[in-house]
Amino acid sequence: MNMIETKTWMCLICGWIYDEAAGAVEHGIAPGTPWAQVPMNWTCPECGARKEDFEMVQI
């Protein structure tokens, strides 16, 4: 079984989690979208923080 390792990214401002496997469908990001492919102008749906305000986290 070939499992693709997905990562999670946390907003350093409010703590909202972006999970690459789940995406953020309600915010225009399809499931399975790697963080690198999330548009640079995308902002945190909770607090409006910029993409550079997110950090990879291990859950």
| pTM of the predicted protein model | 0.87
Residue 26 has pLDDT above 90, yes or no: yes
Residue 9 DSSP code: E
Residue 1 has pLDDT above 60, yes or no: no
Q: What is the pLDDT of residue 4?
A: 66
What does the alpha-carbon distance between residue 6 and residue 50 come to, in Å, rounded to a whole number? 21
Q: What is the pLDDT of residue 59?
A: 67
Report the alpha-carbon angle 32-33-34, nearest 5.
Answer: 110
Q: How confident is the prediction for the chain on average, in pLDDT?
A: 93
* Span 39-43, average pLDDT: 96
